[in-house]
Amino acid sequence: MSDRDTTSLLTPELEPQMDSLNPEPAPRPSRPRQMTLNMGPQHPSTHGVLRVVLELDGENIVSARPDIGYLHTGIEKECEVKTWQQVVTLTDRVDYLSNLANNLVYALTVEKLIGDIEIPSKAQWLRVMMCELSRLNSHLVWLGTHAIDIGAMSVFFYCFREREDILRILEMFSGQRMMTSYIRIGGVALEPPRGWREAVGKFLKQFPSKVDEYDELLENNPIWLNRTKGVGFISLEDMLDLGVTGPMLRGAGLKLDVRKTEPYSSYEKFDFDVPVYTDNDVYSRYRVRLDEMRQSTRIIKQALEGMPEGPWQADAPKIVLPEREKMKTQMEALIYHFKIVTEGFRVPAGEAFQAVESPRGEIAYYIVSNGTTRPYRVFMRTPSFGNLQSLGTLLEGRLLADSIAALGSMDFVLGDVDR
């Protein structure tokens, strides 16, 4: 016992770490207790592969930095090695929830480059009708998933029930539910199928009451109202400076809709309103999209009732594939078919820019041609990319719990962001 070592085990280096054992701990240096939270890339509420690096001070978000690129597939590069008509299938895959708007903006830009091609009015009206159906599809997916994020489960099932009807109509027209590639350069891919009027008419008869149903489900839901009203404010000035477009701007009182300001594909012949709300929060963005669904129904109704007769493709044998019957009987048609399929068609050299209102905002393609059968450059200005840029400003200084509602109200598609 006597030769026991009595030196303290607590060396001077270790002593500060024993603060909490002391009856009077030494005061800690005051520093902001910030924490870095990595949200995503596989977070369910980001609806895709988005990573947000959040700096938190307790429940408050000090800064939010979106990190994108996980879904980058180099679509713009791939466009440069496809023929003009083949690129249509790639545009489907950019924004897979509103692929028809992508098809349309690509077709319009190339038609602008070609110049002397006249799209028959039936094709234009079909394009409008299909685009509005795909807008409904996109808004329904948004509403369902956004409501799930906030905690209203049943809206999702209601929305996807009607979405199924829309997808069936899309399949009827194009043979595909999602990647339709329906709008082609020079018109649309196929003649409207037998019985399409009845199918669209039946859908139009049901749909308005369903929108009222969603409205009722959410409007009388105090949790929904508390979690959306006054949440996710970002000033209009910031949004314009950061490149935001679409329902977010219209939820802040700015009536910017490309369908009205720069009408394309005969939208000027349709009678519809641009819904605008001024509260600039998640709730007003929801109201804008809900009202847009009603307006889209109006447009589809007009398109159905006033659908012009005539061809659904332009009279441009060098661009549009000939009818099967003609190919069997006419030499010329066979030659054109062979040329289009093997080599593709040439587009005059030049550049063109075209903007279209997609469900998410302004989608614009800038295409450069050098006179060959393949595009020289296809640039896609996608609405989700522009909108997501405002995420940092939108979340800064807000509560973490509100970030999910704010994220959802932007309605981005990550395929559209990363391309």
Partner 1 sequence: MLPEILQQYPVAQALASFDADAIAGGKFDRGELTLEIDAAKIVPVCMRLKTEEKFIRCSDVTALDYYPAEPRFVVVYHLHSLARNERLRLKCRVSGQNAAIDSVTGVWRSANWFEREVFDLFGIQFRHHPDLTRIMMPEGWEGHPLRKDYPVTGNRV
CB nearer to partner 1: pick between 69 and 151: 69
Report, in Å, the least distance between residue 47 CB and partner 1.
19
Report, in Å, the least distance between residue 236 CB and partner 1.
11
Residue tagged 């200084």 (tokens): 397
Report, in Å, the least distance between residue 115 CB and partner 1.
7
CB nearer to partner 1: pick between 36 and 370: 370
Distance spanning both ends of the chain, measured CA to CA: 77
Report, in Å, the least distance between residue 138 CB and partner 1.
21
Q: What angle do CA 380, 381, 382 make, to 5 degrees?
A: 100
CB nearer to partner 1: pick between 221 and 384: 384
* Strand partners of residue 377: 368
Burial label, 359 (beta-carbon count in 10 A; 0-12, 13-18, 19+): buried
Q: How far apart are CA 53 and CA 9, in angstroms?
A: 42
Report, in Å, the least distance between residue 376 CB and partner 1.
8
Neighbour order of strands in the sheet with 350-358: 350-358, 361-369, 377-381
Report, in Å, the least distance between residue 103 CB and partner 1.
20
Supply φ then ψ for residue 80, to 5 degrees.
-70, -15
CB nearer to partner 1: pick between 233 and 366: 366
Q: How far apart are CA 213 and CA 296, in angstroms?
A: 17
CB nearer to partner 1: pick between 203 and 267: 267
Report, in Å, the least distance between residue 387 CB and partner 1.
10
Report, in Å, the least distance between residue 241 CB and partner 1.
5
Report, in Å, the least distance between residue 381 CB and partner 1.
4
Q: Which residues bind partner 1 (CB under 8 A)?
A: 68-69, 72, 74, 76-78, 80-81, 112-113, 115, 240-243, 254, 256, 261-262, 350-353, 355, 362, 364, 366, 368, 376-377, 379, 381, 385-386, 389, 418-419
Q: Measuring CA to CA, which residue among 419, 396, 417 is closest to residue 47?
A: 417
CB nearer to partner 1: pick between 25 and 74: 74
CB nearer to partner 1: pick between 217 and 236: 236
Q: Return the amino acid letter for 218.
A: L
CB nearer to partner 1: pick between 337 and 381: 381
CB nearer to partner 1: pick between 256 and 334: 256
Q: Which residues contact 229 (CB under 8 A, 6 or more apart)?
A: 279, 281, 282, 283
Q: Measuring CA to CA, which residue among 59, 106, 83, 187 is closest to residue 367?
A: 106
CB nearer to partner 1: pick between 257 and 411: 257
The CB-based long-range contact list for 372-376 (8 Å cut-off, 24+ gap) reads: 372/346, 372/347, 373/83, 373/84, 373/343, 373/344, 373/345, 373/346, 373/347, 374/80, 374/81, 374/82, 374/83, 374/84, 374/344, 375/79, 375/80, 375/82, 375/84, 375/87, 375/347, 376/80
Report, in Å, the least distance between residue 88 CB and partner 1.
19
- The structure tokens listed for 214 are 């969603």
CA 367, 370, 371, 374 torsion: positive or negative? negative
In this structure, are residues 376 and 80 in contact, taking their beta carbons and an 8 Å threshold? yes
